[in-house]
Amino acid sequence: MPKTKSSTTETGLLIGIRPLIEAIEAHRDIDKIYLQKNLKGPLFKELWTYLRDYHLPYVVVPKNRLDKFTRQNHQGVVAQLSAVPFQDLREIVTRTFEKGEAPLLVILDRVSDVRNLGAIARTAEATGCHALVTGTRQSAAINEDAMKTSAGALHHLPLCRENNLNETLQWLKMSGIRTVAITEKASAPLYDTPLDGPLAILMGAEDKGIAPERLKLSDYQAYLPMRGRVGSLNVSVATGATLYEVLRQRSLNHPA
């Protein structure tokens, strides 16, 4: 597609239908799209074709929600650009295997808090993860708050966005990568779970957890032992505890 110029605001917003279409044609990394209810017209029909064909993430909202973003004539459409480019998960996995390394991935299922995502990215980068993977729906925005919380880690850690996490988990299994789902519903503690070799750590949102269909697709389910009275951990803390157990087990099996 030809690259065309599109306008954005200082906060990385695209205002209006035409600037969004131009951004899509220019292959810009679009994080989330907000659509006003009951939009119609030939220009919106053209936009809708792009949303459908490119599987772009969108949410339908009332007009007053869009008015909070801008005082400009938004035509019922506002989009947020991603603060970092998305990368191809399959290319990352292939390159990692070719280098003789065991892929280590973190997959976030419906984790929607930007600060949790940023904190997870910071720990994932520090522990040598090869990529952080999110879905297109109910996922945290990749904005300046996420960047700040990650302490710059999102500039160094590849970020992948997958349209269908179920298909992604199936592809990982076929590629020889085991998935460990961290959930309080598990019967085995994390410390009794093998975490060496090619691995994907699956984490869910604190309120919703991991979707049942993705739990079924995981190779292992494990829980973090709790000794206090608090019933659960923050998802970024739980991810950090899990990743350092991965490092511990790998260092035992492959000491420096």
Question: How is residue 132 written in tokens?
Answer: 């952080």
pTM: 0.84
Q: Which one-letter amino acid corresponds to residue 46?
A: E
Mean pLDDT of the region 136-159? 87
Kindly list the structural domains of the chain, giving each domain's residue range(s) and its CATH number in brackets, ordered by start. Answer: 13-81 (3.30.1330.30), 89-253 (3.40.1280.10)
Per-residue pLDDT reduced to its tens digit, 49-92: 988 888 888 888 898 888 888 888 888 899 988 888 899 999 99
Mean pLDDT of the region 112-124? 93
Backbone angles phi, psi at 236, to 5 degrees: -70, -35
Please say whether the beta carbons of 56 and 28 come within 8 A.
Answer: no
- pLDDT for residue 238 is more than 80: yes
- pLDDT for residue 247 is more than 60: yes
- pLDDT for residue 31 is more than 70: yes
Q: How many angstroms separate the CA atoms of 70 and 65, rounded?
A: 10
Q: What percent of the chain has pLDDT over 90?
A: 50
Mean pLDDT of the chain: 88
State residue 4's pLDDT score. Answer: 36
State residue 118's pLDDT score. Answer: 94
As a whole number of angstroms, the longest Cα–Cα distance in the chain is 63
State residue 8's pLDDT score. Answer: 47
Q: How many angstroms separate the CA atoms of 49 and 30, rounded?
A: 16
State residue 53's pLDDT score. Answer: 86
Q: Which one-letter amino acid corresponds to residue 66?
A: L
Query: Tokens 């350092």 — which residue?
Result: 244
State residue 254's pLDDT score. Answer: 67
Question: How is residue 59 written in tokens?
Answer: 């949410």
- pLDDT for residue 249 is more than 80: yes
Q: What percent of the chain has pLDDT over 70?
A: 94
How many angstroms from the chain centroid is the CA of residue 143? 12
Q: In a 10 Å sphere around its CB, with 0-12 CB exposed, 13-18 middle and 19+ buried, how is residue 103 labelled?
A: buried
- pLDDT for residue 135 is more than 80: yes
- pLDDT for residue 230 is more than 80: no
Contacts (Cβ under 8 Å, ≥6 apart) of 172: 93, 105, 179, 200
State residue 5's pLDDT score. Answer: 40
Residue 123 half-sphere exposure, CB side, CA atoms within 13 Å? 20
